[in-house]
Chain A
Amino acid sequence: MIETILEARRLRKQFGGLVAVDDVSLKVARGSVHSIIGPNGAGKTTFFNLLTGLYKPTNGQVFYKGQDITHAPLYRRAHLGIGRSFQITNIFPNLTVLENVRLAAQAMSNINFRLWRRAESYTDFTHRALEVLELVGLRDMAALPANILPHGGKRKLELAILLAPDPEVLLLDEPTAGMASEQVPELMATIASIRQRGGKTIVLVEHNMNVVMSASDVITVMNLGKLLAEGTPAEISANKTVQSVYLGELYNVEG
C-alpha cells in the first residue's frame, strides 16, 4: 500500500481571465521522486505556489499527511515539513552565504525570540549550515555576501536554504534553471544523494529530460494548466498525447 504524503484535490488558480492551474488532482507517494513536466507557462510554478501556500487557490484543497492544509499560511507549512526551492533565485542578497543558510536552519528552532544572546553562540545552527554548505559545495564561499555569488553558486545556495531545516517533502522548482550544462550533473548528484539517505519525498519540476527520465519514479505532465498524463518514465515517453505536446524535448531522451 503506497502512502500518500502530499495531495492536491481539484486545485484551480485563476489570474483574472487566465486559468493557470485548472482542476489538477495529484497524489505524491511518500519517499518517491515525483516529477512535474510541461512546456513553459504550463502552470508548474503556480501549482507549487498553491502547494506551499504562497498563493491561495481559487478552488480545491491541499492535503498533507491526510490533514487539510489549504488555509495554512506559508510559514506553517514549512514547519509541517514542506520545503521548496525557487525557480527564480530567492535568497537574502546582502547577508552572507552562511547567514542565508543559518537562518533557514534556525527557523524551526525555539530560539527565534531570544533577544539577548548572539545568534552565533547557538553553534548547532552554524554547524548545520556549514554541513549543508559542504554538501552543496559552497563551503568555501560561506563568508561571502550572497549577491556576489555567480549564478551557479546562487542555485546551490537556493538548494542549501531548502535543505538546512531538513524538510520531509522537498519541492524543487527547476533547481538547474539557468545553470551552465556542465554544472548540472553535480547539482543532480547532490539531489540524488539526498534521496539515497532515504526518508525524503521529492517533487521535481525540471526541463532537462535526461534528468527527469532517470531520476523519477512518477512523472506528471501538465499543459495549459491541465493535467495531461501521469505515469512511470517509460509510460510517459511512450504516451502519444505527451509526445504531440512535448515532442521537442522528449527527443532529448533518445538523443
Chain B
Amino acid sequence: MKAVKTQPLWRRTLQSNIGYLAVVFFLVIFPHLVGWMTGDSPFGVNGRPRGQSVFWQSVFIEVFILTILAMSYNLIFGFTGVISFGHALFFGLGGYIMGLALERSGLGAEAALLLGAVIGVVVCGVLGFLMGLVSLRLRGVYFAIFTLAIAEMVAIYIGRWPVTNAEDGFPLANMPELINPTRNRLTYYYLALLLVIITFLFIRRLMNSPTGKVLLAIRENENRAQAIGYNTLTYKLLAIALAGMIAAGAGMLHVILNRKVGPEILSVTYTVDPLLMTIIGGVGTFSGPIIGAAGLHLSERIFNREFVIGTTSVNIGENWSLILGIIFVVVVLVFPQGIVGTWTRWRSRRGTARAPAPTVRAANAGD
C-alpha cells in the first residue's frame, strides 16, 4: 500500500489503467492488424469499402456506438439507480436531428455537422431534463413505463411524419469527406473510438466527483440521501439530461455510419440493447457496459448466420433472439452482478492479502 502511494501520480495512473490502455492500444492497431493478416488494405480499395479490414472496422464502429449508448444508460441505471425504458428516444432524436441538419439545413457539410451535433445534444439534454421533471416524482416501475410511453409516442409520430419521409426515412449524402464512412472508414473508426474514450473518461470523472457520489447515494438509498439534505430530484435530472446528451451522440454516429435516418433508430431495440448490455457486462461498473456491448454485438455478428455441421445446417440467425434471451437469463441467474461485477468480487475474495476489499459496487471507482 505505502509503496504505491509514494510513486508519482503519472505512474499510479498508468498502473491502475494498464488494462484499459492495453485495450485502447489493441483497438488502435486493430484495423492494421486485420489488414496485415488478410492482406486487405485498411483503407479499402480505390475509395470503396472493400476487404476484411474495412468490414471489421464497421463491426467495431457499431460496437463503439453501442458502447457509448450502454455507458450512457449505465449512468442512470447503474450509477443513479433510475430505470428508464425510454432511452431509444435520445438515441433516435440525436440521429434525426443530425440527419436534418446535414440534409435539410442547406449548410455545408462541416457547418451542418457542427450545428447538428450542438442542437442534437442540447435538445436531448433539455428533453431528458423535462421528461424527468414531469415524471421523476413517479418511482421505480411507474417512471420506467412513463418513459417507455413517451419514447413510443415519439417513434410512432415520427414514423408518420411526412417531413422526414415517414417510415421510409431519408438517406444522408452531405457529410464531411474526412469522416465519410464509405470512403474514409478508418478515420471514422478512430473518431468513434475517440468518442468512446472521451465518454468513458467523462463518466469516470463524474462518478468520482462530489456530484457522482451523490448519484451513488441516490442509487443506494434515495430516502436517506434526502434525509441528510440532498434534493435528489435535481441530481436525478442532471443524470438523465447527461445520459440523454451522450445517447444523442451515439445516435448521430449511428446515422452517419449507416448514411440513413429512419424511424427504426427510435425503436425500443435501442432501449433494450443497452439495458441488456449493461446488465450482462455489470451494472454500475465502469467497464461493464463496454464488455457487455462488445460481447453481445460481436457474438451477434459472428454467430448470426448459417452454420453447416456435417450434413445438418443450423441457422443461428433465425434463433438469435432466443439465444440472446437464454444468455440473459443465465447471466441474471448465475452472475447477478454481471460479468465485471462477478469477476471483481471473485478476485477480492481470493485476495486475502489485500486490504479489506470492498465489494464491486462499494468500490465502484476501481474498475
Contacts and interface: CB of A to CB of B under 8 A. Distances in A.
Interface stretch (B15-23, B99-107, B215-223, B271-279): B215-223
A144 B209 CA distance: 20
B358 A143 contact: yes
A165 B229 contact: yes
A74 B213 contact: no
B361 A161 contact: no
Interface string A136-176: 00000001111110000000000001001100000000000
Nearest to A93: B220
Given A92-B220, A95-B216, A75 B226 contact: yes
A150 to B, nearest CB: 14
B210 A119 contact: yes
A74 B209 contact: no
A78 interface: yes
A73 B231 contact: yes
Contacts of B232: 75
B12 interface: no
Interface string A100-117: 001110111101111111
Interface in B227-241: 227-232, 238
B321 interface: no
Given A119-B212, A145-B359, A90 B220 contact: no
A4 interface: no
Nearest to B209: A115
B362 interface: yes
A75 B217 contact: no
A52 interface: yes
Given A73-B226, A94-B362, A116-B209, A103 B214 contact: yes
A91 B356 contact: no
A103 B217 contact: yes
Contacts of B206: 115
A104 B228 contact: yes
A197 interface: no
- Which of B208, B226, B227 has the most chain A CB atoms closer than 10 A to its own CB? B227
B212 A78 contact: no
A145 B208 CA distance: 17
A99 interface: yes
B227 A74 contact: yes
Nearest to B224: A90
A54 B225 CA distance: 12
Given A54-B227, A78-B227, A161-B228, A94 B359 contact: yes
Interface residues of B, number: 31
A95 B208 contact: no
B355 interface: yes
A77 B359 CA distance: 33
Interface residues of A, number: 46
A84 interface: yes
A75 B210 CA distance: 17
Given A114-B209, A118-B208, A119-B209, A92 B229 contact: no
B273 to A, nearest CB: 26
B349 interface: no
A94 B366 CA distance: 14
A106 B210 CA distance: 8
A216 interface: no
A96 interface: yes
Contacts of B347: none
Contacts of B315: none
A90 B223 contact: yes
Interface in B196-213: 205-206, 208-213
A144 B358 contact: yes
A103 B362 contact: no
Contact of B221 (A84, A90, A108): A90
A164 B212 CA distance: 19
B227 A95 contact: no
Contacts of B230: 75, 107, 112
B228 A78 contact: yes
Contacts of A109: 210
26 contacts: A73-B226, A73-B231, A75-B227, A75-B229, A75-B231, A90-B224, A91-B224, A94-B220, A94-B359, A94-B362, A94-B364, A104-B228, A106-B214, A107-B228, A107-B229, A107-B230, A109-B210, A112-B210, A113-B210, A115-B211, A115-B212, A119-B213, A143-B356, A161-B224, A161-B228, A165-B228
Interface of B: 205-206, 208-214, 216-217, 220-221, 223-232, 238, 355-356, 358-359, 361-362, 364
Interface of A: 52, 54, 73-76, 78-79, 83-84, 86, 90-96, 99, 102-104, 106-109, 111-120, 122, 143-148, 161, 164-165
Given A106-B213, A113-B211, A115-B206, 5 more contacts: A75-B226, A83-B228, A99-B216, A115-B212, A145-B359
